[in-house]
Structures are given as C-alpha cells and as structure tokens.
Amino acid sequence: MAKTKDLIDHSHRPSKLLLMLEGRAVYDAAAMVPMLGLKKFLPQGDNHPVLVFPGFLASSKSTSPLRQYLADLGYRSHRWKLGYNMGYSHKLHYGMRDRVTELVERYGEKISLVGWSLGGVYARELAREMPDIVRQVISMGSPFRGHPSSSNVHRIFNMFTEIPYDEMPESFLQNMAHAPPVPTTALYTRGDGVVAWQSTVELSDRYDVENIHVGGAHMGLGFNPRVLLALADRLAQPEGEWRRFKPPFWMKPLFHNWYPDWLVHGNENPLETASL
C-alpha cells in the first residue's frame, strides 16, 4: 500500500525581520478607506449569508470593517458571536456549528464562510463537516497545513488552546491539510510575518480549489485592498457556477508576488511542484 503524501508544511517560522514588518498592517488599514468609494464598481452580492471568523486572540471587533464592507456589497454579513478567539475548544467548536446552522435556518439558503488566520482553519473544518449547507469557504493567511516550527505564535497558542497542537492526532492534521468538499479559496501573502506562507496555501488538483496571492502583512489581511477585491469577486459567483479567479488585465500586477527572495523566508515553494 502506497504511503500517503505528507501535506503538512515543515518550513521554519518567518524571520524576526518579517515579524517586525507586520507593523505595515497600518498601511493596509489606511488603504481600505479609498476602497470604500470603489464598492459600486465591484461585483455586487446576491444577499446570501456570509459568516466571518476572527483570527487568534481577536474578537469580532477586528472583523467589523470587513463585515460592513461585505454588507455594503449586498451580503447578509455576520459576526461569530463567540467572543475572543482563544484557540480551539470543544465548546467553541459546537458554538460555531450552532452559529452556522442558525444562520442557514434563518435565511433558508447556503452560507459562505470567510476566516482570517486561525478563523480560516475553523471555517474550513466547518465546511468539511457541513458541506450540504456551506456554499464556499475563503481563508485569509490561515495555516491549515501548519506545523509548530512554521509559526511565530505557536507557544502562545499552546498557552490558551484546550488541545495543544502537539496533542492533535497526526491523522487529524493530515486531514485538515486537505481542502474541504466545497469550493475553496486560500488568500495568502509571501510577506507573512506570523506564519510561514507555505502553510497557508492549498496543494490540490481540484478545479474548485485555488490560491490567490494578495501580499501585505498577516495582521492587515482584513483590510488589504487586494483581499477586498478578491472577496468581492469570489462571493459574487452564482451558486453552482464556481470559476477560478481571473483579475482584469489592468489588475493583474496587484496580485503579483513583488517580494524579493532575500526577504521571503524559506527556499521551498510548494506551489512550484503542486499540480494546480
């Protein structure tokens, strides 16, 4: 019997320089302001529900600007109502499931899930558990293929989470690295200073699974203009008519990787060998 391919990323954690450069997230936040005036020129929503999950140690306050942006585009945008994201717990897991079910029952249609960092890991697992009611899932800098060695917050995570990473079964971690059975988009930045960018990308040959490079800082992904453009395009796709992201010709440079190799940690690029 052939050995199952190891999808967990084992890159070393981002450098201290990249971590310090996370301060540039303030520029991502500032760049969101002019984006608000461009909303009417972007693909508009069809009023289906969207649930947004915050990152580690953050609450729904961190996703408020993003949720308002999605609401202005024409979506029923919702917060998770579960306080601060202090890491995984069984209580949190059931709370998220209940929140998804509540919104689906309220509106009588499938829901899209959007998660920032650890929130994206949660969103993917909920989509895996409830594919019949999840329309699509979008992660933003989410280390779903992560290993302790590829994160700058691993020790802090283990201080708060109910189940430390090191105690999670290998089979669960390998399964988590596979895309859930719904259309899946991974937004990532090679300039990520919190987690290795290699751990935030999909390795799949499925047509309905994709990676989109958005650049910027990990801490600024919820405000990043390229993230906002990608979200508007992805969420506007009619149900059952998913297609891969193709920005207009004049926008392609925005989604190009402009990070020099000397700055981006790690020599391995998993996307060069993945059949995507």
For residue 60, tell me if it sits in a domain: yes
CB-based contact 84:20 (threshold 8 Å): no
Q: Please give the structure tokens belonging to residue 185.
A: 């988009």
Given a cut of 60, whether residue 1 has pLDDT beyond it is no
Kindly state the average pLDDT of the residues 156-164. Answer: 88
pTM over 0.85: yes
Q: Which residue in this structure is represented by tokens 């915050």?
A: 54
For residue 42, tell me if it sits in a domain: yes
Enclosing H/E stretch for 135: strand 134-140
Q: Which domain holds residue 82?
A: 16-245
Number of domains in the chain: 1
For residue 5, tell me if it sits in a domain: no
Kindly state the average pLDDT of the residues 172-195. Answer: 94
**Length of the chain as a residue count:** 276
Tell me the per-residue pLDDT of 58-98, one tens digit each, with 9 for 90 and over.
999 999 999 999 999 999 999 999 999 999 999 999 999 99
CATH number at residue 39: 3.40.50.1820
What is the C-alpha to C-alpha distance for residues 8 and 2, in angstroms, rounded to an integer?
A: 18
274 pLDDT band, cuts 50/70/90, is low
Tell me the per-residue pLDDT of 107-125, one tens digit each, with 9 for 90 and over.
999 999 999 999 999 999 9
Q: Which residue in this structure is represented by tokens 């779903």?
A: 144
For residue 9, tell me if it sits in a domain: no
pLDDT given for residue 267 in this prediction: 63
